[in-house]
Structure 1
Amino acid sequence: MSQDVQAPAAAPPAKANETLEDYTLRFAPRSYRKWSTGVVATSALGGIAYLADFAIGANIGISYGTVNALWGIGVFAVVIFLSGFPLAFYAARYNLDLDLITRGSGFGYYGSVVTNIIFATFTFIFFALEGSIMAQGLELGLGLPLWAGYALSTVIIFPLVVYGMSLLSKLQLWTTPLWLILMVAPFVYLLLSHPESVQTFFAYQGEEGQGTPSLGAVFLAAGVCLSLIAQIAEQIDYLRFMPPKTPENSRRWWTAVVLAGPGWVIFGAAKQVVGLFLAVYLLANVAGASEFANEPVRQFVVIYNDILPGWLALTLAVILVVISQIKINVTNAYSGSLAWTNSFTRVTKYYPGRLVFLGVNLVIALILMEANMFDFLNTILGFYANCGMAWVVVVATDIAINKYVLGLSPKQPEFRRGMIYDVNPVGFVSMIVSAGVSILAFFGALGSTLASYSPLVAIGLAFVLPPILAIATKGKYYLRRPDDGIDAPMLDELGNPSGETLHCQVCDQDFERPDMTASGTGTGHVCSLCLSTDRSGDHVLPAAP
């Protein structure tokens, strides 16, 4: 599977099976993107079927009260939507994952390795969280010990992720209708049969007795929710397979991009509110509910028991949990394998294949589950949010401000080795500073008052620093050279990436124009993956004079 390039004269490396590898390190070519806008959007939204939102909503509500939790969820939704829109647009328009976008949006070829590790961390944290919820369901429904449930919820994911988008799109489409019915039914039942639960919900003050809005509590709640900010990267792993935008499909294209891109937060925020609502209902009506009100499995079992016979209620709750966790954890495992492979290949110049790191991600997630991470969820998510926010907001700011307002960052994304600098201080330094300062604030190093506002610190610095550094450096660290030595246009007449194919002299395969550059040897063309694995550097184009 290796595509290791020792020197120009070396034998061509073996071609990766792109059906399995799913264009891990590449632009997603037009020839592969055969899905409709609706299929891509449904597949992307299927990945947000997770029940962690229920647990997050319940946890922040129990801690800070309904009013503060709702305001915190509102802050979370606004930040996610605004920061996610430019990223989703770039992914769908130029058919790149978030790592490839990050490279050319202020970070550089090696600089984005750090953000890739942040994203990979997101995928195994949330895989572990979702796997823990699934194990709780299996224990409750089948009597399976938690440790065995953790293992089972991990092992069953591997074969489902092997074939990437080709299988995941079918899985998400087939399971979504049943999942929607099972999830929405209990909430609708409570609203219709127990209308008084709405008043109880809004009156709930939480463990700290905060019935009135508190700015500190709102931002602490928002900080936990904002740990989900890196979810946009998982949405993008689907959106990069959007078909070309044309006058005929323009409305459908934009609808799919907005709903399946930043619009995921509408559904995520709704699930957090429902999770809080169910938790408050249990606390008010079920003895001993304080022990399990934040567990989605128990929430659904109790409500189903009010509607159905006990055996059927338990069965449906387990089915809901299993479907939900499979739908999201195939996405977590898939996206994590992409992120790890990207980082490893750039650093080592060796391509082991995506499936190797699929296994690595699953092992890390299993270790976290066995360590019972569910018990310290708020702390983990609150800490992680600072890193995730710093990365995503910096990239979004570079696209929205540095590209479209200041004009210092090239509008067309660039990701190929040799075309961009190894490290661009604009994004890299902005992220390190904003994440570092907000983490210090989170742990109280900057005072107890500022600790509550660490999400605001991360967002503020990540928004302000990129334009300042772009102006200070005059944008000179974005492009190492302005052209790739190929005369054929990069885009077609509608502004979509060109579908013209060129031949790679190293791997002896044809790839579409956006994935290719002229070879530094002065003869022929070379694809982006062969450039990434070129240890001699002979195929890398020289910097512009």
Structure 2
Amino acid sequence: MVVDEVSTSQHTKQTRETLEDYTLRFAPRSYRRWKPGVVASSALGGIAYLADFSIGAGIGLSYGTLNALVAILVAALIIFTTGLPLAYYGARYNIDLDLVTRGAGFGYYGSVLTSMIFGSFTFIFFATEGAIMAQGLKVGVGVPLWLGYLITTLIVVPLVIHGMKALSKLQVWTTPVWLLLMIGPLGYLVIADPGSVSDWLAFTGSEGGGAGLNAGSVMLGAGVALSLMAQIGEQVDYLRFMPPRTEENKRSWWMSVVLAGPGWVVFGALKQATGAFLAVYIMGLAGAAATEPVQQFMNVYGLFMPLAVAIPLAVVLVVISQVKINVTNAYSGSLAWTNSFTRITGHYPGRTVFVLFNLGVALALMEANMFAFLSSILSFYANCAIAWVVTVATDILVNKFVLKLSPREPEFRRGMLHAVNPVGVVSFLASAITSIAMYFGAFGTTLQPYSPIAAVAIAVVLTPVMAIATGGRYYLRRTDDGIDEPRFDSHGTPVDTTYTCHVCEQDFERPDMLACYAHDAVICSLCVTTDRTGQHLLPAQ
């Protein structure tokens, strides 16, 4: 029978769920043994990347300090506002951002679009961070760039394969060293040379922005910074392992969700501003290399210690930072690509396959010297990331809580959702296509800098308009999954009753299960996903 074939092909892979970190599905309470603070510190460890310094340096050198600071602030406010509902849903219902997206306006197959965008985000930033690490290895120990690219790619493989258990230990133990190496020298610089701050604040940039505030320059700078909006997806990949919110832990739970969810952008904005400061400070010494973090910190360390010590310390900072973020990039990328591939093909190859795929693409980008045209790539990519994140955030905030046309509790299981929901898909495509056309000058040079804001505005307006126009009909294919016990208790917390899937014969918690149409039994969400015949699916209501 086909059912037996599905069972045979999937049984072995599904017994490795703890190693696979519950790809494509709800993270069960039995696995989520970490306290809120541990999950938060692990999530924040993933923002140790140094690309912020390069991004801030590029914006500051181009448009001047005043325009750069306002651009960074504008981007941070947008990212924080849109990131909060996504972080809450991921932590509250223990699902990653792709699963949130499915039920927030995109549908079961519609969210493949956004999974691919997020997957692209992870290898773009892996390549960016890997290039920075290779630059550090070249400066510090003379490793050729091509070899440095290979080293930075291979070093993360064993950590990423072992998922959250290994990543949480890495992030917690390396954070104190990282903070000391980063904050200490910056504090010394400001104290030792206070005039450097006033010189930085007076810097007007290389692109004719002048001493005053220029709206076009602000928007162009904000567009680069907004490319980081998809970072919330990586934060949610950690936050989905939050424990249930209770009366006893609600303060620490909320603090962890806010700090490690949208709160990452506060740290990111500070790093971008610092990168702009350091670039102005060392541009006379480093020239075009002033945007490279290894050069920034090597020159700052050199102010108060011999160069023979400054260079190794700068290299250590770069290596720690890149390992901390690139394990997250590779991990989150593997989840995104596995999600897309399994839904499209009905075959679950395991997350490890896509760890290697993501790393291979990132390595190719590094060898192609992607770092040299980083700002152009990020400005273009920002429009897609903004369209996705703002559409989902608007669906949660407006369509779920204000209009009440979108189901309050998230749904991600095949058979329960329509294949495509026009609410999210149309809003996302309209926002992305229009803003990209604007970015390339289709609406004239005057409007060109405002493409990121256009992406935000279109998604915010069109998402509720589409929900009203469709009457919310395309969110759920079914409202009843065939199991009598509710998925959530009276407080809205996912229940932890376990059921045995009759296909893979493994036990999973209630939110991951639904009734099987072909048998008087229950089936897990992954087995439904990999059912190519569709015989397990409940009929539409």
SS of equivalent to 2:2:
coil
Hey, what does 2:86 align to over in structure 1?
87
> Residue 372 of structure 1: CA displacement?
0.4
* Separation (CA, whole Å) in 2 of partners of 1:8 and 1:155: 38
Letter in 2 for 1:392: V
Q: 1:324 aligns with which of 298, 321, 324?
A: 321
Q: Does 1:241 align with 2:241?
A: yes
> Structure 1 residues 540, 8: CA separation in 2 closer, same or farther (over 3 Å shift)?
farther
Which deviations, in whole Å up to 9, do the C-alpha atoms of 1:47-94 show, x marking residues without a partner?
Answer: 000000000000011111101100000001100000000000000000
* Contact 2:134 2:149 (8 Å CA) reproduced: yes
Query: 2:533 matched to 1:536?
Result: yes
Secondary structure in structure 1 of the residue aligned to 2:514: strand
Deviations 1:4-32 (A, max 9, x none): x9336864432420122100111000000
Deviations 1:72-122 (A, max 9, x none): 000011000000000000000000000000000000000000000000000
Q: What is the aligned partner in structure 2 of residue 492 from structure 1?
A: 489
One-letter amino acid matched to 2:81? L
Write the deviation string for residues 288-341 of structure 1: whole angstroms up to 9, x where unpaired: x22211000000001101111111111110000000000000000000000000
Matched AA of 2:350: G
How much has 1:209 moved relative to structure 2? Answer: 3.4
Q: Does 1:515 align with 2:518?
A: no
Secondary structure at 1:306 match in 2? coil
Which structure 2 residues correspond to residues 310-389 of structure 1 after superposition, within 5 A? 310-389=307-386
Cα deviation for residue 492 of structure 1 reads: 2.5
Are the equivalent residues in 1 in contact too, given 2:19–2:163 (CA < 8 A)? yes
Q: What is the alpha-carbon distance in structure 1 between the residues aligned to residue 490 and residue 446 of structure 2?
A: 54
8 A Cα contact 1:26 1:515, kept in partner: yes
Counterpart of 1:259 in structure 2 is: 259
Question: Within 5 A, what are the aligned runs for 1:448-463?
Answer: 448-463=445-460
CA root-mean-square deviation: 1.0
Q: Which runs of 4+ in 1 moved over 6 A?
A: none
Displacement after TM superposition at 1:522 (Å): 4.2
CA distance in 1, matches of 2:393, 2:401: 11
Task: Show the counterpart of 1:177.
Answer: 176
Name the CA shift for 1:267/1:486 in 2 (closer, same or farther; >3 Å).
same
Deviation per residue, 1:352-382 (Å, 9 max, x gap): 0000000000000000000001111110000
C-alpha displacement of 1:494: 3.0
CA distance in 1, matches of 2:76, 2:125: 19
TM-score (norm 1): 0.97
Which residue of structure 1 lines up, in the alignment, with residue 300 of structure 2?
A: 303
Maintained 8 Å contact 1:28/1:241: yes
Equivalent in the alignment of 1:191: 190
Amino acid at match of 1:39: V
1:57 alignment partner, SS class:
helix
Partner of 2:430: 433
Q: Do structure 1's residue 471 and structure 2's residue 442 form an aligned pair?
A: no
Match of 1:397 in 2: 394
User: Offset of 1:189 from its aligned partner?
Assistant: 1.0
1:7 maps to a residue whose letter is V
Counterpart Cα distance in 2 of 1:310 and 1:278: 18
Q: Structure 1: which amino acid aligns with 2:311?
A: L
Distance in structure 2 (CA, Å) of the matches to 1:305 and 1:347: 53
Structure 2 matches for 1:86-235, cutoff 5 A? Answer: 86-210=85-209, 211-235=211-235
Q: Are 1:294 and 2:291 counterparts?
A: yes
Shift in Å, 1:526: 0.4
Q: Is the 8 A contact 1:8 1:538 kept in 2?
A: no
Q: Does 1:505 align with 2:468?
A: no
CA displacement, residues 256-308 of structure 1 (integer Å, 9 cap, x when unaligned): 0000000000000000000011111112xx44x22211000000001101111
How much does 1:128 deviate? 0.1
Decide whether the 8 Å contact of 2:11 with 2:505 is kept in 1: no
Mapped to 1, the partners of 2:4 and 2:356 lie a distance apart of 33
Q: Distance in 2 between matches of 1:6 and 1:473?
A: 37
Corresponding position of 1:53: 52
Amino acid at match of 2:148: G
Q: Distance in 1 between matches of 2:252 and 2:339?
A: 31
Show CA shifts across 1:176-212 (max 9, x none): 0000010111211111000001110110011123221
In structure 2, how many angstroms separate the alpha carbons of the residues matched to 1:492 and 1:172? 33
Equivalence for 2:3: 7
- 2:62 is matched with 63
Q: Using the alignment, how far apart are the partners of 1:328 and 1:449 within structure 2?
A: 37
CA contact (8 A) 2:3 2:503 kept: no
Q: SS state of the match for residue 127, structure 1? A: helix
Matches for 1:17-56 after TM superposition, within 5 Å = 17-56=16-55
SS of alignment partner, residue 511 of structure 1: strand
| 2:262 partner amino acid | P
The structural deviation recorded for 1:160 is 1.2
Deviation at 1:431, TM superposition (A): 0.3
In 2: Cα distance, 1:40 partner to 1:6 partner: 41
Further displaced range: 520-529 or 101-110? 520-529
Choose which of 407, 410, 414 in structure 2 pairs with 1:413: 410
Secondary structure of residue in 2 paired with 1:76: helix
Matches of 1:501 and 1:32 in 2, distance apart?
Answer: 13
- How many correspondences in the alignment? 537
Task: Tell me if structure 1 keeps the 8 A contact 2:6–2:530.
Answer: no
Gap change, CA 1:501 and 1:452, over 3 Å in 2: same
Q: 1:492 & 1:403 partners in 2: Cα distance?
A: 19
CA distance in 1, matches of 2:23, 2:306: 47
Deviations 1:444-488 (A, max 9, x none): 011111110000110000100010000000000000011101001
**Is the 1:108–1:422 Cα contact (8 Å) retained in structure 2?**
yes
Q: Give, in whole Å, the separation in 2 of the partners of 1:410 and 1:55.
A: 41
User: In the aligned structure 2, how far is the partner of 1:486 from the partner of 1:516?
Assistant: 8
Matched to 1:18, the amino acid is E
